[in-house]
Chains A and B, each alone.
Chain A
Amino acid sequence: MSDFATLAAGPWGSALAIAAMALATYLCRIAGAVVMSRVAITPRMERGLRALPGSIILATVLPMILDAGVPAFVSIAAGIVVMTVTRFELAGLAAGLGTLSLIRALGF
């Protein structure tokens, strides 16, 4: 242990920190797939996982929108409308960013 402490305090410390972060992240990346390959997926689990993409999006985005306020809300609404009409992600993204820069240029 003290050997590791000496190593960590030396020039290799940041490399060890990066390796530790990389390991933790990689374990997160593979854990779900590894576990699912070992258990039988029930219809109930499948239903749950099917709700995941939209759940992740809302869970990530809602607090950010709330922090950023009305301009963020209006821009995202514009992006969603354009995406619904065009079904083209880049168009939706451009509409959202364009609306946001316009709102900010107008000084809101």
Chain B
Amino acid sequence: MSTLRPHFSLSGLVHGARAALPAFPGFIVFAMAFGAAAAQKGLSLGETMGLSAFVYAGSSQMVGLEIWQKVWSPATILTIMTVTAVVNARMILLGATLQPWLKHEPKARSALNLFLLTDAGWLIGTRYHSEGGRNTGMLLGCGLALWLLWQASTFLGYFAGALVPEPKRFGLDLVMPIFFSVMLVPLWKGAKPALPWLVAGLVSLIVHALMPGYVFIIAGALAGVIAGMVME
């Protein structure tokens, strides 16, 4: 295992696309919900697809819709940019953990891999890496599959959002937290390494109770990292 070096191969792409499968239900539901909400809010198809294609970060797209304007000004553009950065700040931490894996990669491919970075894709990649996998093609295959699915599902949601049956009936409103929790299992390496998780959870609950928005995620994640640094 220790001799395994980061490398890239096309078979990794296929493996990554396949490994992304468990994240599909969550992506389909979330992107369709976004597409439907965008249509309802009066965004054009181009605007909706532009957000999904280039911003490609579900929570910030949803929050963006809440402060979307018919007529823009430098002030409102700056506001939506700041809010987006706050919601997505946790990605700074995700990218930091990928660096050792991507360090010998060509810059252009890393730029693309990082553009495709999502929580779910990162969790799948992290699991693969922790089990000894070093093929960076896996990360790219997983990222590309999820990005394409996000586009297709946004498009579908934009036109067919109203036709989707009540998602609550099938538990689909909670598909993301269920998927995340399930991904916790392969990460479990005993109680002691999980102590920082507990700190993260507690801090996020407190911040969630005190502050509106999505700040609780980054606050909890940072608390977990700090707890991990402090504990021997």
Contacts and interface: CB of A to CB of B under 8 A. Distances in A.
B198 A58 contact: yes
Contact of B217 (A18, A60, A80, A96): A60
B97 A55 contact: no
A61 B180 contact: yes
Interface string A39-80: 001001101111111111111111111101000100110011
B171 A32 contact: no
Contact of A8 (B73, B98, B103, B188): B73
B178 A30 contact: no
Given A33-B99, A89-B22, A54 B93 contact: no
Nearest to B175: A97
Nearest to B185: A83
A29 B208 contact: no
A97 B170 contact: yes
Interface of B is mostly: helix
Interface stretch (B8-16, B148-156, B224-232): B224-232
Interface in B35-82: 43-44, 47, 50-51, 54-57, 60, 64, 68-69, 71-74, 76-78, 80-82
Contacts of B161: none
Nearest to B99: A36
A14 B47 CA distance: 7
B73 A9 contact: yes
Contact of A104 (B47, B99, B171): B171
B137 to A, nearest CB: 18
A36 B100 CA distance: 8
Given A21-B84, A27-B85, A28-B88, A60 B177 contact: yes
Interface string B201-232: 10111001000000011111101111111010
Interface of B: 21-22, 25, 43-44, 47, 50-51, 54-57, 60, 64, 68-69, 71-74, 76-78, 80-82, 84-85, 88-100, 102-103, 110-111, 114-115, 117, 119, 122-123, 126, 168-172, 174-188, 193-194, 196-201, 203-205, 208, 216-221, 223-229, 231
21 contacts: A17-B80, A19-B54, A20-B80, A20-B84, A21-B54, A21-B55, A29-B94, A33-B102, A36-B96, A56-B94, A56-B221, A57-B197, A60-B204, A61-B177, A62-B204, A72-B177, A89-B183, A90-B22, A93-B179, A97-B25, A97-B174
Given A32-B98, A49-B93, 17 more contacts: A8-B76, A25-B55, A25-B56, A28-B85, A32-B92, A37-B99, A47-B231, A53-B126, A55-B228, A56-B90, A56-B94, A56-B224, A58-B204, A63-B208, A80-B182, A92-B182, A100-B174
